[in-house]
Chains A and B, each alone.
Chain A
Amino acid sequence: DGGITQSPKYLFRKEGQNVTLSCEQNLNHDAMYWYRQDPGQGLRLIYYSQIVNDFQKGDIAEGYSVSREKKESFPLTVTSAQKNPTAFYLCASGPGQGAEAFFGQGTRLTVV
Chain B
Amino acid sequence: DQQVKQNSPSLSVQEGRISILNCDYTNSMFDYFLWYKKYPAEGPTFLISISSIKDKNEDGRFTVFLNKSAKHLSLHIVPSQPGDSAVYFCAASSYGGTYKYIFGTGTRLKVLA
Contact = CB atoms under 8 A, between A and B. Distances in A.
Contact of B104 (A4, A42, A50): A42
Interface in B8-66: 9, 32, 34, 36, 41-46, 49, 51
A96 B89 CA distance: 19
A67 interface: no
A97 B32 contact: yes
Contacts of B45: 103
Nearest to B100: A48
Contacts of A45: 100-103
Contacts of A44: 103
Contacts of A88: 41
A56 B46 contact: no
Given A90-B43, A97-B32, A103-B45, A40 B104 contact: no
Given A88-B41, A90-B44, A105-B42, A41 B51 contact: no
A77 B90 CA distance: 27
A103 B100 contact: no
B58 to A, nearest CB: 16
A43 to B, nearest CB: 4
B101 A98 contact: no
A74 B102 CA distance: 19
A42 B49 contact: no
Nearest to A58: B100
A34 to B, nearest CB: 11
A68 interface: no
A45 B101 CA distance: 8
A98 B51 contact: yes
Interface of A: 4, 6, 31, 33, 35, 40-45, 48, 50, 56, 58, 88, 90, 92, 94, 96-98, 100-106, 108
Given A45-B100, A45-B103, A103-B44, 9 more contacts: A31-B99, A33-B101, A42-B6, A43-B91, A43-B103, A48-B98, A98-B32, A106-B42, A106-B43
What 4 A-B pairs are tightest by C-beta distance, nearest first? A103-B43, A42-B105, A43-B103, A100-B46
